Each structure stands twice: as structure tokens, then as C-alpha cells.
Amino acid sequence: MFLRLVADSFGRRPRHKLLTGAALALGMGVATAALSVSLDVGDRLAKEFRSLGANLLVTPQADSLPLEIGGVDYRPVNAGAYLPESDLPKLKKIFWHNNIMGFAPVLEVPAKAMVSGRDDVLERSANPLSWPTIPLIGTWASHAIHLEDGRGFETGVERTNPWWQLMKGRWFTEGARECVVGKNLARKAGSHVGGKFVPGLPMGDSLVVYRGGNEAPLFLKAVGILDSGGPEDDVVIVPLSIAQQLAAKPGQYRKLYVSALTKPEDASAKRDPKSFTPAEYDRWFCTPYISSIAFQIQQELPGTDVRVIRRVAEGEGQVLTRVRMLLWLVTGAALLAAALAVGASAAASVIERRTEIGLMKALGAGSGTVGFLLAAEQLLLALVGGGIGYALGIILARMLGQKIFGAAPEPSLIVFLVVIALAAGVTLLGSALPLRRASRYEPAPILRGE
């Protein structure tokens, strides 16, 4: 009988039920879309922020102080410590290895060098000791690493320094005798480097690097021109292996830039890890905070000193926290509006059914039975409307994610449960107040139309 009454109510007033359902579905659609976007946005934006480049800098622990002014290290090559290149694949073995987006080792070598292939400079190039000193930076442009699980991983400055653009040409090939020239050095008219005039090194010409003693000079063909907007515009970028050869430090590097996906640090994560209790330590270790990733890298690469590039990391943390908060507030506002509208709709449908309630009571139904019946109807509606709304919201959130980040958020069970619970709660709450009043109705005056 109970079920029949409910079914009858739906069958008799299909349009009303449809409208209440539509209001529910739309409201819950807003809730789903806003929730999905908010839940997903942190990770997506963290990825976007990697266009700011590396946020961790790894240097040897036993290193002497760098004497770097204007991008040129004034330390002699034999001063300071180096790190082994062969350790680098270990970076992809730390707990948060999936958050390591890229890394690039760097070895800087100042070298006596000259441009070949142009008549006006040939006579000057006779004595290598009079050649200007040009800073060379050895690094990976795009380097394939084979991981233990058989997968490959591409990394290099293209990942860690995305703002480096090639104005012309291409990156050098790993290990080939090629180089990429900073845009200031590439000027045809030439420029001053280290107090000496260097003729321009346009693409296609070769850089002749003096290797000391009687060794034959090294010819590096310029295959690209780099625009970095920074001090790298005044240097020549060469493959890491060439720089190692020139510095006589095979298989070693001096600095390592790491670009990692992180979660903004909260107050507790900013404390010294040594002061954590074991539980706090576990939580800290298992959260991709920049400090915990730095700690894990330091553990994996012995003898290193891992520093957070504050400039990048702090700004990123701040903006990310703000944007997430903003979206949560938008979500909150959307939930509130949807809840109020749906609640109003539910309340209205109960208010208008006074006659029906009066009739039921006149036929001997108690207030409890009437309330139960109406609540069951509303709940059924909430489930159906909430389900449709969830589907609608997911579609919208996917469209949004696809359009803005090029990747759709995954549908999540939590959102579904939250939305269904919200739908049920809001409709029940909306009907509760009018229902309470309805239970006090005397059937006779209502039926008389008073």
C-alpha cells in the first residue's frame, strides 16, 4: 500500500515531480562540477607552475663557496667538489619519484675559444693563449634515462628550464660535437666576453675550443641560438659529455636542477623535521612537500646538499594556496545556492499538498505515516535527481578540465557520495519544516477549504 501510494504520487503528478527533479539535478550538477574542479585543481595547477622551472638545487656537500657574478663562476676548475652522473637515475627511485618532472645536471667550464670559418678572424686565432675565455655550460638538452622497471624517462633543460627558447635551429644531439650559442654571443658583429672581443658565432660556424698543451683543438658546430632572457645569453651551451671532457672530469657534474611537483607547505611542514614525532614524521614523509622531497633526494644521492629554490617554491606555494581557497569558496557558494533553491522547491511541493495531507489524515493516517510517506517520496526524488545531477556535473567538469588544462578530472566516488548525501539532506530539510506544520493540521477545515 505504501509503495502504491508513492508510485501513484509520481504517476499522478509527473510534471511536478519532473520539475522538482530538474531543480535537484541542476543544483547537484553545480555541486558536482564545482567539487570536482576544486578537488582536481591543486594537482593540475602544480603542474602548470612547473613552467617556472626547477624548484630544487642539488650541489655537492663538500663544495667550496661559488664565486659567481653575472652567471660566471670565478672559481678555478680544480676547486670545489663534483658529483657522479651515474647516480642520477636514482632520483626516479625516491618515494615521490612520480613527482619528479625533470632534472638536468650542469657542469660549467670556462674555456679559451675562438670562432673558426671566418677569414677576418683567422690571423688572430694563431695563438690560442690570446683567445678570449668563453663560459661553456655542459648539460642535457634531452636525455633518455632507462629506469629499472623498463620504462624510459626523458629529461634535460627542456624540462627544467621551459623558458629557454631556441630562436633558431635545434638543440645539440647528446654526445655530438655541437653547441647552442647564447643570443648575445651569436650577434654577427661580435661582443665582449671576459674583457676580450669575440667575433659573432652565427649558426653553422664552429667554435674552436683550446684544450691546452699540444692537444688538437675541439671543434663544436653551432646548431642553435638560445634566448633565455638571463645570463645564459652570454654563454655557449654544450653537451654534458663535452664539458666533462674539457674539464677532465668524466662522468661528473657540479649542479643539478630538479623540477618537482609539490604540495604547498602548511605550518606544520615548515618545522624542522628533527622535531617531529614519529607520526608527524610519517605524515610529512608521505606528503609531497618540497622539504620532504628535498630530504628524500638527499638520502638517495649521498654527499649532496639539496636546497629549495625559495624564489620559485615560496611564490608557487602562496599562489596555489590562494587559488585553491578561492575555488573552495566558489564551491561553497555554489553548494549553498543549490541547497537553498532545492530546499525551496521541496518545501513548496509540501506546502501545496495540504488538501492531500488533510484527506490522508481524514482517512485515518497518523502524522507519522504521512510524514514518512512524503519523506520517502522526496528521498526517492533526491536519489534520482542527485544521480542525474552528478552525471551532468561530471560532464561539465570534464569539459572544463579538458578546455583549460587539456586533461579531464577523474570522476571520484567521494564526490558522488557527497552529492547524493547533500541532495537527500537538502530535500529532507526543505520538506521538514512544512511537514511539521502539516502534521498539526486538523483535517476537517482543510477539506472544507478553509
Partner 1 sequence: MASYRTANRAMFWRILRRLLGANRGRLLVILLALGAGAAVTAALFNLQIDAKRRLTTEFRSFGANVIIAPASTGQASGTATISETLLEHFPNQTSLRSIPRAAFLYAIAGVTAFSGEGTDGTKLGTAPVVIAGYRFLADDLKQIVPHQVIEGDNAVILDSETCEIGEKVASQFHLHVSAVLKLKTEKAEVSCVVSQVRSFGGIEDGQIFIPLKTVQRLAGLPQQVSLIEVVVPGTPAQIEHYLDDLRNQFPDAEVRPIRQFTEGEAKVYDRISGLLTATVAIVLLLTGLCVMAAMTNVAMERKMDVGLMKAIGGSMRRVLRLFLAEAALLGLVGGVIGAGLGIVLSMGLGKAVFGVAARPRLIVYPVAVALTIIVAILSAFPLRRLASIRPASVFRGEA
Instruction: Report how many residues bind partner 1 under the rule CB under 8 A.
Output: 92
Q: At what angle do helices 14-49 and 310-351 cross, to 10 degrees?
A: 180
Among positions 285-324, residues that touch partner 1 (CB under 8 A) are 307-316, 318-319, 322-323
First to last CA, the chain: 29
Nearer Cβ to partner 1 (261/342) = 342
Q: Does 437 bind partner 1 (CB under 8 A)?
A: yes
Q: Give Cβ neighbours of residue 332 (< 8 Å, ≥ 6 apart).
A: none
Give least dist CB 379 to partner 1, A.
17
Q: 327 Cβ partners below 8 Å, 6+ apart?
A: 34, 37, 38, 41
Output the smallest distance, CB 347 to partner 1, in A.
5
Q: Which of residues 385-424 bind partner 1 (CB under 8 A)?
A: 396, 400, 403-405
Closest CA to 102 of 59, 51, 164: 51
Q: Which of residues 44-63 bind partner 1 (CB under 8 A)?
A: 45, 48-49, 51-53, 56-57
Residue among 221, 204, 207 nearest 109 (CA): 207
Task: Pick one of 5, 6, 42, 66: the residue that binds partner 1 (CB under 8 A).
Answer: 66
Report the nearest approach of partner 1 to the CB of residue 49 (Å).
6
One-letter amino acid of 247: A
Taking phi over 0 as left and psi of -120 to 50 as alpha, with beta for the rest, 150 belongs to: left
Running DSSP on this structure, what letter comes out for residue 101? E
Least distance to partner 1 from the beta carbon of 373, Å? 18
Interface residue with partner 1, options 102, 217, 343, 386 (CB under 8 A): 343
Radius of gyration of the chain (CA): 34
Element (H, E) at 56: strand 56-60
384 binds partner 1 (CB under 8 A): no
* Residue 67 in contact with partner 1, rule: CB under 8 A: yes
* Contact flag: residue 2 with partner 1 (CB under 8 A): no
Residue 234 CB, shortest distance to partner 1, in Å, is: 5
Minimum CB separation from partner 1 for residue 412, in Å?
17
Interface pick for partner 1 out of 125, 161, 252, 304 (rule CB under 8 A): 161
DSSP state of 81: -
Q: Does 325 bind partner 1 (CB under 8 A)?
A: yes
Q: Which stretch binds partner 1 (CB under 8 A): 2-10, 90-98, 199-207, 330-338?
A: 330-338
Interaction residues for partner 1, span 180-239 (CB under 8 A): 184, 191-196, 227-231, 233-234
Least distance to partner 1 from the beta carbon of 144, Å? 25
Q: Name which of 189, 276, 286, 179 is nearest 224 in CA terms.
A: 179
Cβ proximity to partner 1: between 248 and 336 the closer is 336
Footprint of partner 1 on 11-30 (CB under 8 A): 15-16, 19-20, 22-23, 26-27, 29-30
Q: List binders of partner 1 among 344-363 (CB under 8 A).
A: 344-345, 347-349, 351-352, 355
Q: Is 447 in the site for partner 1 (CB under 8 A)?
A: no
* In the complex, minimum distance from the CB of residue 151 to partner 1, in angstroms, rounded to a whole number: 28
Return the number of other C-beta atoms located less than 10 Å from residue 346's C-beta.
Answer: 28
CA angle 224, 238, 133 (to 5 degrees): 105
Query: Cα–Cα distance between 357 and 337 in angstroms, integer?
Result: 29
Contact between residue 244 and residue 140 where contact means Cβ atoms under 8 Å apart: no
Identity of the residue, 239 or 264, whose beta carbon is nearer to partner 1 in the bound complex: 264
Q: Is 163 an interacting residue with respect to partner 1 (CB under 8 A)?
A: yes
Closest approach of partner 1 to the CB of residue 241, in Å: 25
Distance, in Å, from the CA atom of 292 to the CA atom of 284, rounded to the nearest integer, reads 7
Nearer Cβ to partner 1, position 351 or 383? Answer: 351
Task: Pick between residue 376 and residue 400 the one whose CB is nearest to partner 1.
Answer: 400
Rounded to 5 degrees, φ, ψ at 306 are: -105, 120
Stretch that binds partner 1, among 102-110, 201-209, 327-335, 362-370 (CB under 8 A): 327-335
Residues 6+ apart with CB under 8 A from 67: 73, 74, 75
H-type alpha helices, 115-239: 119-122, 157-160
CA distance 385 to 126: 85
| Residue whose CB is less far from partner 1, 379 or 396 | 396
CA nearest neighbour of 56 among 315, 318, 271, 313: 313
In contact, 58 and 258? CB cutoff 8 Å: yes
Please check whether residue 101 is in contact with residue 260, taking contact to mean a CB–CB distance below 8 angstroms.
yes
Q: Which of residues 84-123 bind partner 1 (CB under 8 A)?
A: none
**String marking each residue 229-258 x if it binds partner 1 according to CB under 8 A:** xxx-xx------------------------
